[in-house]
Amino acid sequence: MAYLISEVGKELLSDVSRFCESQIRQKCRSWDETGEWPKECIRQAMELGYHTFDIPEEFGGPGISRIDAAALLEEIAKADAGFAVTLAASGLGLRPVLLAGDAGQKERACGRILEGALAAFCMTEPQAGSDAAAGTVTAVRDDGCYVLNGTKCFITNGSKAAFYTVTAKTEPEAGAAGITMFLVDADTPGLRIGAKEDKMGIRSSDTCEVVFEDCRIPVENRIGAEGEGFSIAMKTLDEGRVWMACIAAGIAQRGIDEAVAYGKLRRQFGRPLTAHQALRFKVADMVIKTETARQMTAHALLKLDLGEDCRMEAAIAKCYASDMAMEVASEAIQIFGGYGYSREYPVEKLLRDAKIFQIFEGTNEIQRMVIAGETIG
Ligand SMILES: Cc1cc2nc3c(=O)[nH]c(=O)nc-3n(C[C@H](O)[C@H](O)[C@H](O)COP(=O)(O)OP(=O)(O)OC[C@H]3O[C@@H](n4cnc5c(N)ncnc54)[C@H](O)[C@@H]3O)c2cc1C
């Protein structure tokens, strides 16, 4: 995909690469062990603007194409997928504002991100995951405000965000048509952080509940009209899924890099592992799959850059890239043999990190439902 990256993108890529090498690669092992959120390192990344790649130029963003941004995100994911998820999840939290907010909301939200804040996207609820329209968080209009009540769960950046975009039912009996999107500041009275998840992978990212208890937010914080929330959320996820595919490709590429480096050093039957044709073909298949995922992702991103709908392309890219990242991470472990199964080497983490990409932003079963729906009707 290198041929699609601009000159500016290439320069940024070498900066990002240096940052990953000096700040993320060594430390992420300890973040993985402890589940620590890397506050200082995230702060440095934000100072360098690495959480602003997808902010449009008109609102102060870097003005790079999505293809450039994808290459940068993949580079960060190669170092630590959890770190990349933190940055991408902030973009997901901002997206409803970019898609449907008014000019003031866009300016304020982008301004806060550019000043060093993170955002989070709150849709999932304990009883409403794949069936997102079944949520029970409510927003009741009262005296120039909406009063939010209920619990969102599994929220990335849940305890770190400065603001949230939140779906809530303004008309509980109306299903998806009764959902509205809101912008909620983290310091709003009645908003509290609930239980934190202890995860199997992407352990350097923050995932927790966000609870609303008589949380009053001004009417001006509604994004779009009442009842438009579900459609805004689905469009948000269409783009979000493509960024998840980029991160999955980064995990797979790391698996290839590690497997090749190890395979050149490790000798069996008098030759390096990489001299055995069975393993050479294994590596070739890993490369074919990773590059295919990248191309699918690039296709979806190009459509987004052209302002075109990419629901189908995003679902294909996310589904393929995440299934592929699981396969490639597993093959990387296979090439390491027993050492790959040991925590002493970095490849077992890749498999744990890869798994979530088959689950969040719509499971791969849901992606297949989207693809079948677009194809069959
Ligand atoms: C680490 C992490 C971070 C997350 N970050 C966020 C976030 O920032 N914001 C947010 O809103 N959410 C977030 N989520 C939530 C995530 O999007 C949901 O977990 C996901 O959508 C699945 O919902 P569920 O867990 O309730 O599973 P369920 O919906 O209960 O699904 C369970 C299983 O059943 C399958 N299934 C369900 N319905 C069908 C069907 N009709 N046909 C076939 N199979 C079906 C699913 O594919 C899955 O395999 C995060 C989750 C995790 C684990």
Residue ending a domain, among 203, 225, 247, is 225
Tens of pLDDT along 55-64? 999 999 999 9
- What sign for the dihedral angle of Cα 344, 350, 351, 353? positive
Q: How far apart are the first and last CA of the chain?
A: 32
Residues 297 and 267 reside in one and the same domain: yes
Active site (annotated) includes residue 361: yes
- Whether the pLDDT of residue 233 is over 70: the answer is yes
Q: What is the pLDDT of residues 244-277, one digit of tens each?
A: 999 999 999 999 999 999 999 999 999 999 999 9
Task: Work out the average pLDDT over 279-294.
Answer: 98
3-class SS at 129? coil
Are 369 and 242 part of one and the same domain? Answer: yes
160: exposed, middle or buried (C-beta count within 10 Å: 0-12, 13-18, 19+)?
A: buried
pLDDT at 351: 98
- Asked if residue 126 and residue 83 are part of one domain, the reply reads no
pLDDT of 64-122, one tens digit each?
A: 999 999 999 999 999 999 999 999 999 999 999 999 999 999 999 999 999 999 999 99
Distances from the Cα of 93 to the Cα of 85, 229, 292, 327, angstroms:
12, 13, 28, 29
What's the gap in Å between 130 CA and the centre of ligand 1? 5
Count Cβ atoms below 10 Å from residue 200 Cβ, excluding itself.
11
Residue 3: what pLDDT?
75
Cα of 154 vs centre of ligand 1, distance in Å, is 9
Judgement on whether residues 260 and 335 belong to the same structural domain of the protein: yes
315 alpha carbon – ligand 1 mean position (Å): 15
- CATH number of the domain to which 181 belongs: 2.40.110.10
Cα–Cα distance measured from residue 141 to residue 171, given in angstroms and rounded to the nearest whole number: 11
CA distance 352 to 49: 28
From 182, 207, 225, the end of a domain falls on 225
Percentage above 90 pLDDT, the chain = 98
Same domain, 250 and 293: yes
Per-chain mean pLDDT for the chain: 97
pTM: 0.98
- Whether residue 150 contacts residue 139, with contact meaning beta carbons closer than 8 Å, is answered with no
Q: Is 130 helix (H, G, I), strand (E, B) or coil?
A: coil
Q: Average pLDDT of 209-213?
A: 98
The answer on 344 and 255 residing in a single domain is yes
Domain ranges, residue 337 = 231-376
Ligand 1 atom 43 nearest Cα:
365
C-beta of 233 in contact with ligand 1 (< 6 A): no
Kindly name the residue from 209, 327, 331, 361 that is annotated as catalytic: 361
Among candidate residues 114, 144, 178, the one where a domain is terminated: 114
For 23-47, the pLDDT digits (tens) are: 999 999 999 999 999 999 999 999 9
Same domain? 99 vs 145: no
Instruction: Answer yes or no: do 244 and 348 share one domain.
Output: yes
SS3 210: strand
CATH number at residue 371: 1.20.140.10
Q: How confident is the model at residue 4 (pLDDT cuts 50, 70, 90)?
A: confident
In this structure, what CATH number is given to the domain that contains residue 34?
1.10.540.10
Q: Got the DSSP string for 24-92?
A: ITTTHHHHHHH----HHHHHHHHHTTTT-TTS-GGGT-----HHHHHHHHHHHHHH-HHHHHHHHHHHH
Residues 6+ apart with CB under 8 A from 157: 86, 89, 90, 93, 118, 119, 120, 205, 206
Q: Residues 371, 235: one domain?
A: yes
The secondary structure of 135-204 as a DSSP string is ---EEEEETTEEEEEEEEEEEETTTT-SEEEEEEESSGGGGGGGEEEEEEETT-TTEEEEEEP--SS-TT
Amino acid 1: pLDDT: 66
Same domain, 253 and 305: yes
